[in-house]
Amino acid sequence: MTRRFATLDVFTDRALAGNPLAIVEEAEGLDSAQMQAIAREFNLSETVFVLPPDLPGHAARLRIFTTMGELPFAGHPTIGTAIHLATTRHGPDFEGRLVLGEKAGPVPVRIWSKGGRMQAELTAPVLPELGAVTPARTDCAAALGVAENDLGALVPQLWRGGPGFLYIELASLDALARARPIQPGFDALMAQVGELGVYVFAAGEGCDFQGRMFAPAENMPEDPATGSATAILAGPLVAQGRVGEGETVLQLRQGVEMGRPSELVLRIEVEGGQLRAAHVAGSAVPVMRGEIDLPGV
């Protein structure tokens, strides 16, 4: 059976920037092993498989795979797929809401047009939760190849919201540029926190924060844009007093050091000192379309 696919660059308004995404349309009939094999063939950070919805009112059900395994929720696949479905099903002028079913739960996505480019904002399906492990600053610095005084004031913490990430603030963009996974300390740190990815960030120039995400064990030495990690960042920012009451909108940049600059918007809602919702927004640009024609797939 021939299956259509498309690729988009997500969290950017121009092609060949942002985070590439593969979308396999009409994926019913594929089993998990076949989806995993196709994701390895694309060899992108994530590949999405679009299935018929299993709940009324949903636009589609998504399964999201890295080259190594399936994710319960991911940001750039959600944003990219929502824009792709809105465009292909409703046209380039669509404005409204879609709900996408993911393993972590239903993900509402608001879609609108700005400057001739479609934008989408997801609402994280689960609120971030603080993990039980707080690693030592010395271990964090050694794992990233920076000095301990290169770390920022935020306490390094593990937070989960579907996937999980260790959040480490750095004191400068210079330290952020120098950061990289250093072995065996990086793998030892990941074993300690029980997750595969580290999100590092610093105060940005022309944006609120600039970030990087390393997950070498996931065959992802660095990710150009990590929407789920951006949403979960709301957890430590609120918990450690960086975000006040009401609504806060933050501009974030990622992928700069890779030559894949990505622009993300994090909107945080706080009520009574508690995080009530985290939203991530961005754009996406179509790049390629084609067909998968493999025997038995």
| 253-284 confidence digits (pLDDT tens) | 999 999 999 999 999 999 999 999 999 999 99
For 98, the enclosing helix (H) or strand (E) is strand 96-102
Nearest-angstrom CA–CA distance, 219 and 96: 36
pLDDT band (50, 70, 90) for residue 124:
very high
pLDDT in the model for residue 97:
97
**Strand 117-123 to 246-254 pairing:** unpaired
Nearest Cα residue to 162 out of 46, 15, 5: 46
**Domains, the chain:** 3-123+283-292 (3.10.310.10), 129-281 (3.10.310.10)
Contact by Cβ (8 Å): 76, 46: yes
Q: What percent of the chain has pLDDT over 70?
A: 100
Contact by Cβ (8 Å): 196, 45: no
Which residues carry out catalysis?
46
HSE, CB side, 13 Å, CA atoms: give it for residue 201.
27
For the chain, how are helix, strand and coil distributed in percent, rounded to 5? 25, 40, 35
pLDDT band (50, 70, 90) for residue 23:
very high
| 285-297 confidence digits (pLDDT tens) | 999 999 999 877 7
Q: What percent of the chain has pLDDT over 90?
A: 94
pLDDT, average across residues 179-198? 95
Contact by Cβ (8 Å): 243, 237: yes
| 28-47 confidence digits (pLDDT tens) | 999 999 999 999 999 999 99
C-alpha pair distances (Å), 276 with each of 11, 74, 155, 238 = 24, 19, 22, 10
pLDDT in the model for residue 32:
97
- pLDDT for residue 250 is more than 90: yes
- pLDDT for residue 231 is more than 90: yes
Tokens of 69: 């395994």
3-state secondary structure 185-247: HHHHHHHHHCCCEEEEEEECCCCCEEEEEEEHHHCEEEECCCHHHHHHCHHHHHHCCCCCCEE
pLDDT in the model for residue 296:
73
pLDDT band (50, 70, 90) for residue 116:
confident
Please, what sign has the CA dihedral across residues 45, 49, 53, 59? positive
Tokens of 82: 């929502």
DSSP state of 151: B
Contact by Cβ (8 Å): 264, 121: no
| 41-76 confidence digits (pLDDT tens) | 999 999 999 999 999 999 999 999 999 999 999 999
